[in-house]
Structures are given as C-alpha cells and as structure tokens.
Amino acid sequence: MAALLAIVPLGVAALWLRPEAEPLYQGQPLHYWLKGYDPAAGPSSSNPAPGPTRDEADDAVRALGTNAIPDLLRMLVYRQSPLISPLLTIGRRLHIVKSQFSNPCVRNWEAQTAFSELGYKAAGAVPELIQLYDTHPDSSSRTSILFVLDSIGPIAKEAVPVLLRAMTDTNEEVRVNAISALCKIQTDPAHVVPALITYLSDPAPIVRRNTILALSQFGAKAKPAVPALLQLLRDEKYDPARSPDPVAATKGRLNQPK
C-alpha cells in the first residue's frame, strides 16, 4: 500500500511532465535544436554525442518560423516548481520518468535567443507578450518579455503603453530593457520623449545611459530633452578636453540577459 501511494503521485507527475507535441525540424523537436543556444550543452562524459550548433539552431528556428512561437512563449516565462527536481529523481530511480531537470534560466535564454532570430516575424506574438507581462510580475520574466519586444522592433508599437509602465518598475534591469525597447520601436514621441527625459535623472547609471541612447534615436523630435541633457553634462562634470565625445562612450549592447 505504501509503495502504491508513492507510485501514484509519481505516475501523475510523469503524465504532467510529459512534453507536449513540439514542431519538428529534420525529425527533431524544437527543444533539441534550441540546445544549440546553450554553451553548456556540448559533449560531456554523461552525454558524449555532440548537439546542434548555434548555426543549426538558427536554421531550425527560421525554418519553423511562427510555428515555434507557442513553445517559445512558454519557455520565456518558464519557472520550475521546487518539488519537480526531487520528484524526477525518485521517478528516474523507479524507471517511471526519464525527464531531466531543466534550468529555467537556460530555457529563458534559449527562448530569448530564438525570438531574436525570428525578429519582426514574431510580431503576431506581441498581444500575448503584453498579456504575459501583466500576468507574470516577477522581474526575470518581465525582463525577458521586454527583451523580446525589443527584438521584434518597430512593428511592436502596440506595446508602447506597457513599456512606459515598465519604465517605472523598481527593478533596474526591467527599466533598462523597457527603455531599450522604446529606443528600438521609435514611435509616439509625444508620450515617449517626456517619459525618457524623466529617466535622465535615474539613480542607475546604466538606465541614464540607455535613456541617452533612446533619445538620440528620436532625432529632432527629442529637442525638448536638450535642457535636461545639458544639466546631466553639468552634473556628470563633463570635461570636453578629456572626453570629447560623451555619446560615443555610452555605446554598447542595450540588452544582455544574464
């Protein structure tokens, strides 16, 4: 009876953990190809067979196109219950399940990288990305969602209201990615430029840096920001003799998920 009581929940877990049908490319499911985005997924003593390369992962994502989006959205906000790991350990010992522990950070990164490869072709996912942002309050999920909106670019303009709200988040990375996405989308300057001006005085230097870059993308439409930019130069004790090009010093990657 005790053994039965132990096996029943494991059986339920096995059914729950069984992967849903994924789109196939060259006979392999999507998650197989996405391993090409994980630097730690190379050959090892426990898995000597070489996995897909980064280029092969890109080819698979491009070939699958929008068919991959439902799975990528799930991966983007994937969080694993603390009970799953011990359940899987017991299940493997009893030969009930074969699933391995899946690091949420790795799955999030794979999804973000795949969305970056899709770019504007993932535009159809914008409404669901907006909904996911509102239903997943943790900063890690929100940072990932904003990164994807940035990857989609100008065609994601309907997300601007969400991005403006994200700029007020207490998490620095969320603010950075929201500003970067606004920089990429470059629309609605009447609302976006005044909001960006506010963040020229953000306590985080990286937020101020990305705000400068975002304003630069609006060109003449960012003219109202000139007084605040001049004040920022004074506050930063800018010395033209020592640093003749302050804007060049701020250039770099706008988004770099950890």
Same domain, 82 and 165: no
Please tell me whether residues 4 and 65 are part of one structural domain.
yes
Note whether residue 129 is domain-resident. no
Same domain, 146 and 206: yes
147 pLDDT more than 60: yes
Residue-wise pLDDT tens digits, 108-129? 999 999 999 999 999 999 999 9
**Between 93 and 205, residue with greater pLDDT:** 205
Residues 144 and 96 in one domain: no
pLDDT digits (tens, 9 = 90+) for 51-101: 899 999 999 999 999 999 999 999 999 876 555 555 555 655 665 655 555
Q: pLDDT exceeding 70 applies to what percent of the chain?
A: 72
Of the listed ranges 87-101, 148-162, 171-185, the one predicted with least confidence: 87-101
Pairwise pLDDT comparison (42 vs 185), residue with the higher score:
185
207 found inside a domain: yes
Task: Identify whether residues 60 and 162 lie together within a single domain.
Answer: no
Domain boundary residue among 87, 118, 149?
A: 118
Does 131 map to a domain?
no
pLDDT band at 240 (very low <50, low <70, confident <90, very high): low
Helices 126-135, 139-152: inter-axial angle, 10-degree rounding: 160
DSSP β-bridge partners for residue 25: 28
- Is the pLDDT score of 49 beyond 90? no
Q: Kindly state whether residue 127 falls inside one of the protein's structural domains.
A: no
**pLDDT(210) > 70:** yes
Best-predicted range by mean pLDDT (30-44, 71-85, 242-256): 30-44
Same domain for 205 and 93:
no
In a domain, 123, yes or no: no
Residue 96 lies in a domain: yes
Mean pLDDT of 234-242: 66
Q: Is the pLDDT of residue 43 over 70?
A: no
CATH number of 219's domain: 1.25.10.10
Average pLDDT of 146-167?
96
Residue 191 lies in a domain: yes
- Listed as own residue / partner, the contacts of 200-204 with beta carbons closer than 8 Å and 24 or more positions apart are 200/225, 200/228, 200/229, 200/231, 200/232, 201/228, 201/232, 202/175, 204/172, 204/175, 204/176
Residue 29 pairs in a beta bridge with 24
Whether 256 has a pLDDT exceeding 50, the answer reads no
**131 compared with 20, residue with greater pLDDT:** 131
Return the higher-pLDDT residue of 38 and 92. Answer: 38
Q: What is the pLDDT of residue 27?
A: 93
pLDDT of residue 90: 61
For 82, the domain range is: 1-118
Whether 110 and 194 map to the same domain: the answer is: no
Mean pLDDT, the chain, rounded, equals: 81
Task: Answer yes or no: do 113 and 7 share one domain.
Answer: yes
The answer on 213 and 103 residing in a single domain is no
Longest Cα separation, the chain: 82
Count of structural domains within the chain: 2
SS3 string of the chain? CHHHHHHHHHHHHHHHHCCCCCCEECCEEHHHHHHHHCHHHCCCCCCCCCCCCHHHHHHHHHHHHHHHHHHHHHHHCCCCCCCHHHHHHHHHHCCCCCCCCCCHHHHHHHHHHHHHHHHHHHHHHHHHHHHHHHHCCCHHHHHHHHHHHHHHHHHHHHHHHHHHHHCCCCCHHHHHHHHHHHHHHCCCHHHHHHHHHHHHHCCCHHHHHHHHHHHHHCHHHHHHHHHHHHHHHHHCCCCCCCCCCCCHHHCCCCCCCC
Evaluate whether residue 224 is within a structural domain: yes
Mean pLDDT of 177-181: 96
Same domain, 70 and 31: yes
Same domain for 88 and 151? Answer: no
Of 112, 127, 190, 189, nearest to 159 by C-alpha is 127
Last residue of a domain, one of 118, 153, 173: 118
The residue out of 118, 152, 168 marking a domain boundary is 118
- Residue 91 and residue 57 share a domain: yes
